[in-house]
């Protein structure tokens, strides 16, 4: 009983208040201890933060390792609308959350990579969570943008690298400037990297990370902005009140106010008239004004903008970064992009320096998104960066787009000189295997022929075979100094029909000769079709003339077969024996008797029945053109030799350089040109007897297409349609595309790998610019300077351009190849190769040839 009483007494001496005091004392002692040992508390917090950060880093790195990459390649006519771009932005924002629930926030982002490394003007890639690949692979842009899976990019280390992170400055709640879609918003960025040189190790890359922010982060940001707006309003009110009081005190202390008080004062009214100053009431903060673009929840994202430039040459990376910084100024309005960091006099402390460089490298390498607090934007503000370059973007040509010409490389074909945005001049080329047909249009003296000559000379020095057909012969003297090399002289053959005087040197050709192994019916068909094309014959307008000529050529070709089989090719008939066959009964009877067994039944029946029923005046239409050829000593000597030297099929296979100058554009010249063109078509088609892999590439250059097509329009059209199959490629030049026959013009435009236009009238240039969608239009092309061209070319199966390219000038491009002192030696070698003989000698042989043929038949 006593012990119980003592316990109760003790409890009575310690009430609940004492327990509270003891608790407070203990807390105070604990706080004092922590204050004295603050370093232990800081160490504990640091350890907890470090452990949590390490866990977050490992989780984020694990998630980032499974990211996917897509490369977007825009088409030539890619022109998206704002709605399509906005929908793409919504896709990107949604894709940023396609992560596991446990993934750290910094790993939940989609990254847009704009990269220029010299291989392309600006490569556009999307990187994001692997789970969003299906969502991001289907774009609102449709077929105008091709989405390809992309491999990781591994860069070689460069000697000099600069880094920068961009942050929003200015009024952070204001939107960025609304940049129109035309011209392309990416144009400043493309211009900033347009002079990038891959051979110097230049590299520029922009990475834009887009991240959907959580609701709590948006609310916290709004509370922060509203609090700042209220504080600003209170400060403004206090400042206004202070100025009011100062103004009132200044008025009361003035002499004028004191005099007014003395003169107007009444007894007992001390202090009367003093002004009552009412301080301004702080204005209520409007949320819409304070929050700006953050007032709504729709399509708000946080962004991180990182830039890295590198080069192996000191100073180029820094200059590139300055260019990109200026490019981002285009997007600036009341809010703008600025580089993050501090400036200390001439020095800037930013992402390139401690302590922020390590964090930059980690975010760059692992694609982590930790945007600055200020970087809140709406998707429409990023419209210019949410799509690849459009049709409104001027894209420079890099070596990957248009190769650089290399002298002596048979895989490249010279096209001209491209001026880069930084003023450098680069000699560009296309791949020879892809350059199937070319068309050049422009006024006389604009540089069409000069460019074709430069291309042909470059091709010749690379070991290629070619034929240059120039009706006027001006190109041969121009090309001679640059072809006068020992290794070329044995390959060059000159067929110059502009001979004057009996001592002029001339080669020979027998269109119906059989000593070169031709197929008989192909020779007959080629010659008859050439005459028909030049004379306008067909089965509707001149069926009888066509039948007579075909029958006569069939007999003469059979006679030549007999002569070759007898070992007497020098006794072959020529085209001039057609007259004797049609008008000389004895010669005709002898010829038919000698080759009767070689003629088919239809041909024999025609000579037996149809020919005898023809009136005498039926032969004039056939004999008159042949008589014109015979009346000209040049054409008679050239076509009147039994064993003609000219053999274009053999020249193709032997990679010969054949220069043909027909001599003019009169009726007789057109007939001769038609014969040469049709023989070329026959020779190319005869390459079907050679396996495709064994066919030697050959190029035919046709200067003055108007003249050539006037003689053989259907033949020229067939060349542009068929030659590709036999590795023979045609390059045509003309002043007026509209003057070409319809079939030729359509074949040219349909199959041309290269379209080139120089200055000329708007009407003459319009058909070419129409093929380019009038970009550029005829007004621009018509005012080009001499030797300037607009060209569209084919590289890797895709069209490049139209781009402005300066045509090569022989004296500049091939200055090192000029050998004017060896020009005479080249002339002699070319005529020796063509077995040229004096005109008087050939004329005499042609006059005696009929007697030799008659002797063979008898």
* pLDDT tens readout for residues 747-795: 888 888 889 989 888 888 888 888 888 888 888 888 888 888 999 898 8
Q: Is the pLDDT of residue 22 over 80?
A: no
What does the alpha-carbon distance between residue 501 and residue 839 come to, in Å, rounded to a whole number?
A: 8
Comparing 698 with 237, which gets the higher pLDDT?
A: 698
Instruction: Return the pLDDT at 111.
Output: 92
For a pLDDT cut of 90, what percent of the chain falls above it?
Answer: 20
Instruction: Return the pLDDT at 17.
Output: 63
Q: Is the pLDDT of residue 41 over 80?
A: no
For a pLDDT cut of 70, what percent of the chain falls above it?
Answer: 93
CB 674 within 8 A of CB 719: no
**DSSP output for 296-339:** S-TTEEEEEEEEEEEESSTTHHHHHHHHHHHHHGGG-SSEEEEE
* pLDDT tens readout for residues 430-464: 999 888 888 888 888 888 889 999 999 999 999 99
What does the alpha-carbon distance between residue 740 and residue 705 come to, in Å, rounded to a whole number?
A: 8
CB 291 within 8 A of CB 173: yes
β pairing state of 68-74 and 160-170: unpaired
Instruction: Return the pLDDT at 331.
Output: 92
10 Å Cβ neighbour count for 763? Answer: 11
Instruction: Return the pLDDT at 414.
Output: 92
Q: Can you give the pTM of this predicted structure?
A: 0.78
What does the alpha-carbon distance between residue 431 and residue 433 come to, in Å, rounded to a whole number?
A: 6
Give the 3-state secondary structure of residue 74.
Answer: strand
Return the exposure string of 800-824: e unless at least 16 CB atoms fall within 10 Å of the residue's CB, then b: bbbbbbbbbbbeebbeebebeebbe
* pLDDT tens readout for residues 644-657: 889 898 999 999 99
Among 314-323, 331-340, 405-414, 525-534, which is the least confidently predicted range?
525-534
Q: Is the pLDDT of residue 210 over 90?
A: yes
Q: Which CATH class is domain 63-216+295-385?
A: alpha beta
Q: Is the pLDDT of residue 298 over 70?
A: yes
Tell me what the mean pLDDT of segment 24-45 comes to. 78
Token couple for 731: 């390059």
Instruction: Return the pLDDT at 621.
Output: 87
**DSSP output for 125-176:** EEEE-GGGHHHHHS-TTGGGEEEEE-PPP-PPP-SEEEEEEEEEEE-TTSPP
Q: Is the pLDDT of residue 483 over 70?
A: yes
The domain limits of the chain are 63-216+295-385, 428-498+511-736+800-842
Comparing 399 with 57, which gets the higher pLDDT?
A: 57
Instruction: Return the pLDDT at 261.
Output: 65
Q: Is the pLDDT of residue 269 over 50?
A: no
What does the alpha-carbon distance between residue 803 and residue 792 come to, in Å, rounded to a whole number?
A: 7
Instruction: Return the pLDDT at 250.
Output: 64
Instruction: Return the pLDDT at 457.
Output: 93
Q: Is the pLDDT of residue 682 over 50?
A: yes
Tell me what the mean pLDDT of segment 302-309 comes to. 94
How many Cα atoms within 13 Å fall on the side-chain side of residue 196? 34
Tell me what the mean pLDDT of segment 74-94 comes to. 90
Backbone angles phi, psi at 346, to 5 degrees: -80, -5
What does the alpha-carbon distance between residue 257 and residue 250 come to, in Å, rounded to a whole number?
A: 10
Q: Is the pLDDT of residue 206 over 90?
A: yes
> Measured at the alpha carbon of residue 268, what is the angle toward residues 262 and 270, in degrees to the nearest 5?
55
Closest CA to 595 of 642, 542, 559: 559
Instruction: Return the pLDDT at 185.
Output: 92
Instruction: Return the pLDDT at 840.
Output: 85
Give the 3-state secondary structure of residue 612.
Answer: helix
Among 469-483, 545-559, 706-720, 837-851, which is the least confidently predicted range?
706-720
10 Å Cβ neighbour count for 666? Answer: 11
* pLDDT tens readout for residues 513-557: 888 888 888 888 888 888 888 888 888 888 888 888 998 999 999
Instruction: Return the pLDDT at 278.
Output: 64
Closest CA to 732 of 180, 167, 749, 658: 749
What does the alpha-carbon distance between residue 708 and residue 734 come to, in Å, rounded to a whole number?
A: 10
10 Å Cβ neighbour count for 416? Answer: 27
**DSSP output for 530-561:** HHHHHHT--TTT-HHHHHHHHHHHHHHHHHHH
Token couple for 822: 């060896």
Tell me what the mean pLDDT of segment 65-80 comes to. 88
Backbone angles phi, psi at 142, to 5 degrees: 70, -150
What does the alpha-carbon distance between residue 210 and residue 659 come to, in Å, rounded to a whole number?
A: 64
DSSP 8-state symbol, 113: E
* pLDDT tens readout for residues 798-842: 888 788 999 899 999 998 999 999 989 998 898 888 888 888 888
Among 53-62, 464-473, 682-691, which is the least confidently predicted range?
53-62
Instruction: Compute the mean pLDDT over every residue in the chain, rounded to the nearest whole number.
Output: 85
């Amino acid at each position: 009983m006593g012990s119980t009483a003592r316990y109760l007494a003790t409890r009575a001496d310690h009430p609940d208040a004492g327990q509270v005091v003891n608790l407070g004392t203990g807390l105070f002692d604990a706080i004092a201890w922590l204050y004295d040992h603050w370093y232990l508390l800081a160490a504990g917090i640091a350890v907890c933060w470090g452990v949590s950060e390490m866990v977050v880093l490992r989780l984020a790195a694990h998630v980032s390792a499974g990211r996917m990459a897509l490369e977007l390649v825009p088409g030539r006519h890619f022109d998206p609308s704002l709605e399509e771009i906005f929908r793409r932005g919504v896709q990107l924002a949604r894709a940023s959350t396609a992560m596991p629930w446990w993934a750290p926030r910094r790993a939940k982002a989609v990254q847009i990579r704009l990269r220029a490394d010299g291989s392309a003007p600006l490569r556009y890639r999307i990187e994001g969570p692997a789970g969003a690949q299906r969502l991001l692979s289907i774009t609102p842009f449709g077929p105008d943008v091709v989405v390809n899976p992309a491999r990781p990019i591994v860069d070689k280390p460069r000697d000099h690298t600069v880094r920068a992170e961009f942050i929003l400055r200015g009024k952070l709640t204001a939107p960025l400037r609304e940049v129109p879609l035309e011209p392309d918003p990416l144009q400043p960025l493309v211009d900033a990297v347009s002079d990038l040189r891959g051979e110097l190790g230049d590299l520029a890359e922009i990475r834009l990370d887009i991240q959907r922010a959580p609701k709590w982060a948006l609310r916290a940001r709004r509370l922060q902005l509203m609090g700042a707006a209220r504080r600003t309003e209170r400060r403004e009110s206090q400042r206004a009140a202070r100025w009011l009081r100062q103004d009132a005190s200044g008025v009361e202390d003035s002499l004028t106010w004191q005099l007014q008080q003395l003169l107007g004062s009444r007894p007992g009214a001390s202090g009367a008239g003093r002004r009552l100053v009412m301080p301004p009431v702080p204005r209520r903060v409007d949320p819409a004004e304070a929050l700006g673009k953050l007032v709504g929840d729709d399509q708000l994202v946080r962004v991180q903008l990182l830039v890295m430039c590198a080069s192996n040459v000191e100073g180029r990376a820094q200059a590139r970064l300055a260019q990109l910084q200026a490019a981002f100024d285009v997007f600036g309005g009341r809010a703008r992009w600025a580089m993050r960091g501090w400036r200390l006099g001439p020095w800037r402390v930013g992402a390139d320096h401690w302590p922020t460089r390590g964090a930059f490298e980690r975010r760059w390498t692992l694609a982590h998104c930790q945007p600055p607090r200020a970087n809140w934007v709406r998707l429409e503000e990023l419209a210019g960066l949410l799509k690849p370059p459009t049709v409104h973007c001027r894209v420079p040509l890099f070596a990957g787009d248009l190769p650089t010409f290399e002298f002596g490389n048979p895989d490249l074909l010279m096209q001209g000189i491209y001026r880069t945005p930084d003023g450098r001049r680069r000699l560009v080329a296309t791949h020879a295997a892809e350059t199937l047909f070319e068309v050049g249009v422009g006024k006389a003296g604009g540089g069409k022929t000069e460019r074709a000559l430069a291309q042909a000379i470059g091709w010749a020095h690379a070991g290629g075979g070619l034929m240059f057909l120039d009706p006027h012969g001006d190109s041969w003297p121009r090309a001679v100094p640059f072809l006068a090399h020992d290794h070329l002289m044995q390959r060059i053959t000159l067929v110059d029909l502009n001979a004057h005087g009996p001592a002029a040197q001339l080669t020979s050709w027998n269109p119906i000769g059989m000593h070169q192994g031709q197929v008989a019916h192909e020779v007959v068909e080629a010659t008859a079709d050439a005459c028909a094309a030049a004379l306008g014959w067909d089965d509707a307008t001149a069926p009888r003339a066509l039948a007579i000529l075909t029958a006569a050529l069939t007999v003469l070709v059979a006679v030549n077969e007999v002569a070759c089989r007898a070992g007497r090719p020098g006794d072959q008939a020529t085209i001039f024996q057609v007259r004797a066959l049609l008008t000389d009964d004895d010669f005709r009877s002898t010829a038919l008797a000698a080759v009767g067994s070689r003629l088919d039944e239809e041909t024999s029946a025609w000579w037996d029945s149809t020919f005898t029923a023809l009136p005498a005046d039926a032969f004039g239409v056939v004999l008159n053109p042949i008589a014109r050829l015979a009346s000209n000593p040049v054409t008679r000597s050239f076509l009147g030799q039994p064993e003609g030297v000219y053999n274009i099929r053999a020249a193709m296979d032997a990679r010969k350089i054949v220069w043909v100058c027909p001599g003019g554009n009169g009726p007789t010249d057109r007939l001769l040109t038609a014969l040469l063109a049709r023989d070329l078509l026959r020779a190319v088609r005869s390459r079907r007897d050679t396996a495709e892999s064994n066919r030697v590439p050959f190029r035919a250059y046709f200067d003055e297409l108007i003249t050539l097509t006037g003689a053989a329009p259907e033949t020229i059209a067939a060349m542009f349609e068929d030659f590709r199959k036999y590795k023979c490629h045609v390059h045509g030049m003309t002043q007026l595309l509209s003057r070409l026959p319809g079939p030729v013009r359509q074949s040219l435009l349909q199959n041309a790998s290269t379209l080139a236009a120089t200055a000329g009238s708007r009407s003459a240039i319009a058909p070419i610019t129409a093929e380019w969608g009038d970009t550029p239009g005829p007004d621009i092309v018509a005012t080009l300077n001499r030797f300037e061209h607009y060209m569209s070319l084919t590289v890797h199966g895709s069209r490049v351009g139209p781009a402005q390219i300066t045509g090569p000038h022989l004296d500049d491009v091939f200055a090192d190849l000029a050998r004017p002192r060896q020009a005479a030696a080249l002339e002699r070698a070319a005529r020796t190769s063509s077995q040229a003989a004096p005109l008087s000698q050939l004329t005499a042989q042609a006059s005696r040839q009929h007697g030799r043929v008659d002797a063979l038949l008898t």
